[in-house]
Structure 1
Amino acid sequence: MKRLLIAPLCLVACVAFAEPRVYELWESNPAPVGPVETEPRKNGTFPYDQAWEYWSYPIGNGYMGANVFGYTDVERVQLTEKTLFNSGLYGLGGLTSFAEIKLRFGHDAVKNYRRSLNLNEGIAVVTYEVDGVTYTREYFISYPDQVLVMRISADQPASVSFTLAPEIPYLSSLREQDKRTGSVVAKDNRIILSGSLPNENNNYEAQFRVLHEGGQLKAGADTITVSKVDRATVVIAAGTNYELSSDVFLLPPNEKLDPAKFPHDRLNAILDAAVAKGPDALKQRHLDDHGELFGRVALKFDSEVSPLPTHQLLEEYKNGKTDIYLEELMFHYGRYLLIASSRENTLPAGLQGSWSNYEITPWTGGYWHNVNVQMNYWGACAVNLAETFEAYINYFKAYHPEAQKKAAEFLTEHHPDRVSEEPGGNGWTIGTGATPYKINKPGGHSGPGTGGFTTKLLMDYYDYTLNREYLEEVAYPALLGMSRLFSKTLIEEGDHLLVQPSASPENPVTLEQIEGHPGRLDAKGRHWITVGTTFDQGFVWENHNDVLKVADLLGKNDPYLNQVRAELPRLDPIIIGESGQIKEWRQETTYGSIGERHHRHISHLCSLYPGILINSSNPEWMDAASNTLDLRGDLTTGWAMAHRMNCRARLKEGDKAHQVYSLFIAEKTVPNLWTLHPPFQIDGNFGVMAGVSEMLLQSHEAAIELLPALPAAWSKGAFDGLVARGNFVVSAEWSDNKLIGAGVTARSGGLCRLKITSAKDARVVDASGNKISARVVGDDVMEFNTVAGQKVGIQFGK
C-alpha cells in the first residue's frame, strides 16, 4: 500500500510528513489590467476593480494588507490599513484604500515570467528576464516588525533601476464628506505620504525608506529613483491616529480621535528599528513568525501538487476535472489568509479581511454579527491558530462598555419596565453592523440573538484553549451579561418563554405570509419583527447553557443563575414543521410558508452549527436539519454555501459536505482563490477552511471524533496539528476511508475521550510504544487520562 506518510505512523501527536508540501498560487503572466467601474454600484460601493478582486495576490500582517499585481512596466501595489475609515455606508463609516504604490521599471518585452504567492512563507514573488538579466521581486508584510518590505534584485550587478512613486487615492472623491487632504514628499531616501480624512478626524501617514547597494539614489519632489544598483529594498510603515479603546465607541464622532495627534513619531520609530535590522534580518524574522504559525498544521489528501497555474487549475475544476489538490490548497489558503488578516495585537479580520481597494467598501468592510464575523473565526482554534482570535477578544473588550449602553437603549425601547439602574444590570448587546469606531444595537432584520452568536465564539475559545484566566476575566462576564439581556427580552406565551422582539436575519417575508400572525414589518417593509424565532431562541439556549457550564467550572453562585436554570427548559427553541423541516419561525407550517425558500441565511440551523443544541443525541432534530438543508438548496452566495458545508459536516454527511465544497469552489472562487458573495468577502474562505476541519475532526459532543464526515473523494490522506476541544492536538492517517492510526498531544492534560470505529480493537501507547491503560465505553469511545504535555499514539491491529 502506498503511504502518504513516513512508515510507521508516528506514535506521538506529530504525524511525520515525508516531504512537507510548499503551497503556492502562481501565474505565468501579470494580473490583467482592468476593467474598473467608476460609478457607484447598486449597493453604494465604488469603484469596482476586477483585476484587484480576481488576480492580485494578498499579503498582510493583520495591521495592514497589500495586493501585488506583478506588472513589469509599472508595478502596482495597493495598500490597505485597517483603521483608515471614511463616511462609508449605513452611518457606520467604512474602510477605504490607503495608498497606491507604483514602481516604474519600464520592462516591456520580458521572458520566463512567473509570479507566485508562497503560503508557507507568506511571500509574493515576481521573476522574469529582460535582455539576459533575471529580475526578482519579493513582497511581504512583517507582523513582528510591522512593515511592508519589497526586495528588488537581479542576477547581474548594477542592473536594478526603478522609480518609487506612491500615490494617495481618491483625493477627488465623489462624496464631499470623504474628500481627503494629503501630500507626498520625498527627501533623500525617504518619502512621506500623509494627510487627513474628515469623517473621524483620521490623520494618516505612510513612510517609505529605500535602501540600496551600489549605484545611485535620487529624490524628486514626490518620488525616489534608484539607478544601476545591485539590490534595493523598500521598507514601508503605515498607520493613523486611531487607538483601540472604549472611548472610540463611547464618544461622539468628532471626539473619537484627537485631530491634533499624528502617527508620524510612531511610524518613524517603527522604520528606524526595521532599517537597523537590515533586509535579510527582516525577511528571516518574518519567515520565523509566519512559518511557525503556518507550519502547525499539515493536511494532505491522496493528491499530487498540480503543475498548472492557479487559474488553469481552477478553470479545469469548474469544468468538471475536480482535482482534490485544489480542495487541499483552498484549506491551506484559508489558514494563510487568517494569519495575514488577524493577529494578537491587531484589529480583527473584517468582511474583506485586511484588504480594500475601494473608496466605499462593500458593507463598510466591517464586522457583521449576524454570521459574517463569526464565520471568520469558526475554524481559528481548530486549525491551531487560536492567537488570531485574540484580535476579536481585544475588540470585544473595547466595545463592551458601549454594548452595555446599547442594552439599556434596546430595553428602554422594547421593555422599559425591565430596565435596571444597576451597573451592568441590563447586560450587553450588539446588533449586526459594527466597525472599529461604532457598534449597533439589534434591530431591523436581525434579533438580539446576534449577541449569543458572538458569545458562542467567546465560549469556543475557552473550550479549545482551557485558558482559565480568560474564562474568569472575559468569557464568564460576557456570557453572564448576555444572559441578563436575554432574560429581559423573554415574554410568557403559555408554557414557553419567547424573545421579543425577534427576527430571522435578512430573510424577507410578504404580507400575505404573515397575515394574522403577531408582529410587524421593519421600516423597509421586508423583514418580520415577531416573537421567538429559532435564531433568537437557539442562541438564548446556547448562551444560557454555556453560562451555567462556566459558572460550575468557576464555582460561581450568583443568585441570578437560578433564573437562568429556570428559563432554559422553557425556551422551546427547536420545532419541526409539517414538511419535516426545522422551523425558522414558530408560525411557519410547511417549508416556505413564510420567507424565501432558498434564502442565503440558514439562521434557524445555527443551533446545529456553530451551536451544539441540535446534536446526535436527538436524531429527529438531526434528520429535520438535513431535510431543511435539502429544501433550502446549495447554490447561494459564497459565505452561505460555506455555512451549509459546515452544517453538513455536523450532520456527519461527508459526501454532501464535499458536494457543497466542490460547488463553492466551482461557482464562488476566482483565480487568486479569493471567494465571492459576490463581491469578494473573506468569510467564504474562512468558512470552508472551518468546514474541512469539521469534516475531519469534531469535538462538540463530549468526545473527539476522528473523520466524522469523511467523503468518498478523500478516501486516503493524513493530517497533523488540528485541535480538539479540551486543548488536544490531533493527528490521523486513513486509507480506504478507514482510520489506520492517530496521535494526540494533551496540551493541558485531563481525560481524553476518542470516538473511533472499532475502539475495542485499538490501543493507546506512549512515545516509547508502551501501552497506556484505556477504557472502552460502548462500541466506539475509548477514554484515558493524560497529563499536560503528554503525547500518545492510537494503534490498530497487532
Structure 2
Amino acid sequence: MKIQHAITHIILLIFLCKSATGQNKNNLKLWYSKPASKFEEALPLGNGRLGAMVYGGVQEERLSLNEATLWSGKPVDENKVNPQAKDHLPAVQEALFNEDYQTADSLIRFMQGAYSQSYEPLGNLLIHFKHQGTPTHFRRELDISQAIARVSYQLNGTSYRREIFASHPDQLIVIRLTAEGKDRLDFTCRFNSLLRSKSKKQSTSLWMHGWAPIHTEPNYRNKEKNPVVYDTLNSMRFASMLKVLKNDGQTSWQDSSLAISNAKEVVLLLSMATSYSGFDKNPGRAGKNELDLALSYLKEAEKQSFASLQAKHIQDYRHYFDRVSINLGHGEKANLPTDERLERFAKGDGDNNLVALFYQYSRYLLISSSRPGGQPTNLQALWNEIVRPPWSSNYTTNINTEMNYWGTEVANLPEMHQPLFDFIGRLAQTGAITAKNYYNADGWVCHHNTDIWAMTHPVGHFGEGHPSWANWQMAGVWLSTHLWEHFAFTADADFLRKQAYPLMKGAVDFCLSFLTTNKDGYLVTAPSTSPENIYITDKGYKGAVLYGSTADIAMIRELFADYLKAAVILKKDKKTQEAVTNALAKLPPYKIGRKGNLQEWYHDWEDAEPQHRHVSHLFGLYPGTTISDASTPELARAVQKSLDIRTNESTGWAITWRINLWARLHNSAMAYDALKKLFRNANDPEIIKKGEGGLYSNLFSTCPPFQIDANFGGGAGISEMLLQSHEHYIELLPALPKEWPDGEVNGLVARGGFVIDMQWRNGKIVHASIVSKNGGSCKVKYGTHNQEIDTKATRKYTLKF
C-alpha cells in the first residue's frame, strides 16, 4: 500500500508540475478576496453528473448541490397530450394562405400542450466551523487547469485550507480540509434541501434522502395555487451521502449531523444519486435504487487515499482541458481578484487575458457539465439552487441548447458533444408521435422546450402560450445539424452511419411531409414563426404566425444539404435523396428587403421590435453555412445591414450570437464590440436597471437572469474570430481585432480534423502549424495567402505565408 501511495504521489507531482497547456497558470484561476454571498459569486464544480457551487465561507462553507438527472415529473405520453391537435392544422393553413394572420394566430393556440418540467436542486452540504476572530489572507479560487476549488485563510495563528473537486473517475465530490498552526479543525456537517427530504446517520455515513416534485410550474406562471406538487410514489427520488475518508481527530454523530474536532487533516467523500433509469421509465415505480447507487460509489472510493483520488481526477480532467491553450497578451492583471478585473474591463481597462480566461472557462464548464453517457447541458448547465428556476432550467431549443454546443468541436472537445446526440435520439422517439399527432407528418419533430423526459410537443398550457415561441417546430431540424457538424470535424464514419444518419433522415422526413406549396409555387412551412419575434403587416396587424419564415427555410436548407452529403457518403436512400434535391430547388430564396436587410419574414414586413434579441433569420450565416461574404456577398451585405439595425445591444446569449455573426463577416471591430458588451459587469446597478446582458463576478453569463448559454456561445465566438473552416478551406485569424496584436493559440480544430497552432505579433502570423487527425488534403488561407497541403495522420506540418 505504501508503494502504491508513493507512485500515486509521483504521478500527482508530474501532473502538477507539467505545464502542458503552455499558459501562465495564474491566468487559469478565478480568484477572490472574500467569500461568496450569493449563487452568482460562488464557484462551480462538476463531473458531468454531479455539480456543486462552492461559497467559500469562513464561519460556514456551503456547497450547493446538483445531480444532472434530478428533475420534476415523469415520462410523458405524447399520445395523450393533445390528440386533436392535427385537426386544427388545415384551418390554420387555410387562414395563412388567405393572408388572415389574426385568425391563424388565434387558431394555432389549439395546437399547444403542457409545459415542460423543471431541473431541481438537490440541496446543500453545510460545514459550520467553530471559528472565533477575523481571518486574514483570505483567498477563494477555482483552478480551471485542474478543476479544483480552494479556500485558504489565516486565523489566530493557524492556516486553514480547503480543496474540493468533483471526480469523474470516482463519481464523487471530494473535500479535504487542513489546519496548520496552534489550532485544529472543529466543525459540524449537515445536509438540507428545499425539496421534500429527511436526514439521518446511517452506519458510518450521513445520509439525506428525498423526492423531487411530480410537477413544478414554470416560474413565470403564477395562476396555480399549488405550483409544486409531490407524489412520492411516482416522482424522482434522490440520495446524498457524506463519509469520512480520513480524520486524525475525533468524530462524533448526532441524528442528522456529523462533528469533527481536534483534527489537522480531514477528507470527506460526498456521493449523490437519483432513481432516474431512463426518459421512458417511471422514476418512482421503475427507478434505480438511489441509495444503493450512492453507496456503491463510496465503497469504491474508500479503498483509496486522497492523493490517489486527486491524481485520477486531475489526469482525467486534463486529458481534455490541456488540448487547447490560448494567450492574448497583457497578463499582468492576473494578480488581481477576478471580480476586480471584470469591473475594470467593463470600464474600459483592457485585459486581454481575462478574455482568454473566459474562453478556457467556457471549456472548463463544458467538461464539467457534459460528459459521455450523461445528460446534455440545460439552461443552467448543471448548477441550479431554485425549485422553480428561471425558465424551468430546461432545454430551450430555439437557440439556447444549440448554443451550448456551438464551440464544442473547434475547442477540441468532441466527446462532450455526445450527450446532446444521445438526447436527440430520445427526442426522435417521442418526436415521431408528436409529428403524427400535430402535423400528420412522417419523421420526428421537436418544439421550443423539452426536458429530461424528452417531451416534444408545443408548450403553452393548451392555449395560454404566445405562438411566437410556443408553436415553433424547427428544433429537430436545428439539432440535427449538430450531427453533421460532429462528422465534419471528426470524419467518424461509424458515428455517421449508426447514429447521425438515422436521426438526420427522421428530421428530413418530417420536413418533406410538413412543407407545403404556397400560391407562389414555393415549398414553405405553414404554420411558421421566427422565434419570439413579432411582425407588423402592411395593414398594421402585429402577429407571430405566418408561412415560410426565413429562419425556417434556412434551417431546412442547411439540414437538406447536410443530409445529401451524408447519404452520398453512405450510399443510402436514393429516393429520399431525389426528394430532398427536388425540395431544395423549390424552397423560397433568401430575400433582401427595401432597407437592404435580409428579410426575416416571407413578406417585407416591419418588426414590432427592430432591436429584437433573436436573430434567427441570420441562421444561414451562422451557425449555418449557406450565406458567406465569399460565396454570397450580396446576401452577406444584407446580413450586415440586419445586424446594423438590430445593434449589438442585447441580452447575454444574444450578444454572443452577434459575436459569431460579425466574425463570419470578417468584421473584427464589431465582433470585438459585441464581446466587450458581453463583459459588462452584471452587478452594475445601471446594467441591472437596463436588463442588459453581461457577466457576474464568477463569470457566469446573464440573460438576465443567469443562463449558461452565453458562456458557451462567447467561447464559440472567440474561436470563430481566430479560426474558421466552413468554406471548404481553413482560414487563420479571420476576424482578429486590433486589441489582440500579440497572441498564441494551440489546439483549435478545423473541419476535417485538422489541429491548428499559431502565434502572431503585431497582428501578423509569425508561426503556424497543422496536424491532421485523419490525413488528407486541405487548403489554408491567411489574408491573401493560400496554401494547399496533403497531410498524413498525426504528422505536423509548418505552414508558410
- Give the aligned partner of residue 718 of structure 2: 692
1:105 correspondence with 2:129:
yes
Q: Is the 8 A contact 1:196 1:204 kept in 2?
A: yes
Q: Deviations over 1:692-724 (max 9, x none)?
A: 000000000000100011111111111000000
1:658 correspondence with 2:672:
yes
Q: Is the 8 A contact 2:428 2:506 kept in 1?
A: no
Q: Is the 8 A contact 2:35 2:140 kept in 1?
A: yes
Q: Which deviates the most, 234-243 or 493-502? A: 493-502
1:349 correspondence with 2:377:
yes
Moved over 6 A (4+): none
Give the match's secondary structure for 1:408.
helix
1:607 correspondence with 2:609:
no
1:617 correspondence with 2:615:
no
Q: Is the 8 A contact 1:442 1:450 kept in 2?
A: no
Counterpart residue type for residue 33 of structure 2: S
Q: Deviations over 1:509-535 (max 9, x none)?
A: 45xx36488xxxxxxxx7511100001
Counterpart residue type for residue 407 of structure 2: G
User: Quick one: which of 646, 652, 657 aligns to 2:660?
Assistant: 646
- Give the aligned partner of residue 68 of structure 2: 82
User: Quick one: which of 409, 418, 430 aligns to 1:402?
Assistant: 430
- Give the aligned partner of residue 528 of structure 1: 544
After TM superposition, the score normalised by the length of structure 1 is: 0.85
Q: Deviations over 1:227-266 (max 9, x none)?
A: 1112111111111110235x24xxxxxx465267431111
Give the match's secondary structure for 1:114.
strand
Seen in structure 2, the aligned counterparts of structure 1 residues 17 and 118 have a Cα distance that, compared at 3 Å, is: closer
Q: For 2:339 and 2:473, how far apart are their aligned partners in 1?
A: 42
User: Quick one: which of 16, 20, 31 aligns to 1:26?
Assistant: 31
- Give the aligned partner of residue 52 of structure 1: 39
1:595 correspondence with 2:608:
yes
- Give the aligned partner of residue 634 of structure 1: 648
Q: For 2:458 and 2:717, how far apart are their aligned partners in 1?
A: 28
Compute the displacement of 1:56 (Å).
0.6
1:300 correspondence with 2:327:
yes
Mapping 1:130-149, distance limit 5 Å? 130-149=155-174
Q: For 2:26 and 2:324, how far apart are their aligned partners in 1?
A: 11
- Give the aligned partner of residue 418 of structure 2: 390
Seen in structure 2, the aligned counterparts of structure 1 residues 644 and 398 have a Cα distance that, compared at 3 Å, is: same
User: Quick one: which of 517, 521, 527 aligns to 1:492?
Assistant: 517
Q: Is the 8 A contact 1:84 1:202 kept in 2?
A: yes
1:440 correspondence with 2:456:
yes
Q: Which deviates the most, 444-453 or 115-124? A: 444-453
Counterpart residue type for residue 66 of structure 2: T
1:717 correspondence with 2:743:
yes
- Give the aligned partner of residue 229 of structure 1: 263
Q: Is the 8 A contact 1:59 1:123 kept in 2?
A: yes
User: Quick one: which of 124, 134, 141 aligns to 2:149?
Assistant: 124
Q: Is the 8 A contact 1:187 1:219 kept in 2?
A: no
Q: Is the 8 A contact 1:696 1:709 kept in 2?
A: yes
User: Quick one: which of 540, 546, 549 aligns to 2:565?
Assistant: 549
Q: For 1:624 and 1:758, how far apart are their aligned partners in 2?
A: 24
Mapping 1:354-365, distance limit 5 Å? 354-365=382-393
Q: Deviations over 1:58-91 (max 9, x none)?
A: 1111102111111111111110112222369963
Q: Deviations over 1:602-637 (max 9, x none)?
A: 000011100001112010011111111010011111
Give the match's secondary structure for 2:423.
helix
Q: Is the 8 A contact 1:341 1:353 kept in 2?
A: yes
Compute the displacement of 1:398 (Å).
2.5
- Give the aligned partner of residue 791 of structure 1: 796
- Give the aligned partner of residue 565 of structure 1: 581
Counterpart residue type for residue 603 of structure 1: S
Q: Is the 8 A contact 2:274 2:288 kept in 1?
A: no
1:210 correspondence with 2:224:
no
- Give the aligned partner of residue 183 of structure 1: 198
Q: Is the 8 A contact 1:538 1:573 kept in 2?
A: no
Counterpart residue type for residue 497 of structure 2: E
Q: For 1:19 and 1:25, how far apart are their aligned partners in 2?
A: 13
Q: For 1:790 and 1:570, how far apart are their aligned partners in 2?
A: 45
Computed over aligned residues only, the root mean square deviation of the Cα atoms, in angstroms, reads: 2.0
- Give the aligned partner of residue 781 of structure 2: 755
Q: Which deviates the most, 114-123 or 318-327? A: 318-327
- Give the aligned partner of residue 242 of structure 1: 276
Counterpart residue type for residue 204 of structure 1: F
Counterpart residue type for residue 223 of structure 1: S
Seen in structure 2, the aligned counterparts of structure 1 residues 230 and 188 have a Cα distance that, compared at 3 Å, is: farther
Counterpart residue type for residue 48 of structure 2: G
Q: Deviations over 1:373-398 (max 9, x none)?
A: 00000001110111111111122222
User: Quick one: which of 186, 191, 194 aligns to 2:209?
Assistant: 194
Structure 1, unpaired ranges of 5+ = 1-13, 33-50, 171-179, 249-254, 413-418, 420-425, 518-525, 760-780
Mapping 1:264-283, distance limit 5 Å? 264-283=291-310
Seen in structure 2, the aligned counterparts of structure 1 residues 58 and 514 have a Cα distance that, compared at 3 Å, is: farther
Q: For 1:573 and 1:595, how far apart are their aligned partners in 2?
A: 24
Counterpart residue type for residue 125 of structure 2: I
Compute the displacement of 1:198 (Å).
4.5
Q: Is the 8 A contact 1:127 1:134 kept in 2?
A: yes
User: Quick one: which of 153, 161, 168 aligns to 2:193?
Assistant: 168
Q: Is the 8 A contact 1:22 1:119 kept in 2?
A: no
Seen in structure 2, the aligned counterparts of structure 1 residues 257 and 533 have a Cα distance that, compared at 3 Å, is: farther
- Give the aligned partner of residue 769 of structure 1: none
Q: Is the 8 A contact 1:15 1:732 kept in 2?
A: no
Q: Deviations over 1:724-780 (max 9, x none)?
A: 000111111111211222111100111121112353xxxxxxxxxxxxxxxxxxxxx
1:115 correspondence with 2:140:
yes
Q: Is the 8 A contact 1:193 1:207 kept in 2?
A: yes
Q: For 2:328 and 2:27, how far apart are their aligned partners in 1?
A: 14
Q: For 1:328 and 1:537, how far apart are their aligned partners in 2?
A: 36
Q: Deviations over 1:536-567 (max 9, x none)?
A: 01111001111111111112243121111111
Q: For 2:487 and 2:595, how far apart are their aligned partners in 1?
A: 38
Give the match's secondary structure for 2:395.
coil
1:411 correspondence with 2:417:
no
Q: Is the 8 A contact 1:542 1:612 kept in 2?
A: yes
Q: Is the 8 A contact 2:487 2:495 kept in 1?
A: yes
Identity %: 31
- Give the aligned partner of residue 463 of structure 2: none
Q: Deviations over 1:545-593 (max 9, x none)?
A: 111111111122431211111111221241110000011101124xxx1
Give the match's secondary structure for 1:80.
strand
Seen in structure 2, the aligned counterparts of structure 1 residues 464 and 163 have a Cα distance that, compared at 3 Å, is: same
Structure 2, unpaired ranges of 5+ = 1-18, 75-112, 215-233, 460-466, 682-693
1:369 correspondence with 2:385:
no
Seen in structure 2, the aligned counterparts of structure 1 residues 146 and 694 have a Cα distance that, compared at 3 Å, is: same
Q: For 1:672 and 1:57, how far apart are their aligned partners in 2?
A: 6
Q: For 2:153 and 2:25, how far apart are their aligned partners in 1?
A: 27
* Count of aligned residue pairs for this structure pair: 701
Counterpart residue type for residue 595 of structure 2: S
Q: For 2:354 and 2:530, how far apart are their aligned partners in 1?
A: 35
Q: For 2:328 and 2:540, how far apart are their aligned partners in 1?
A: 54
User: Quick one: which of 52, 62, 86 aligns to 2:48?
Assistant: 62
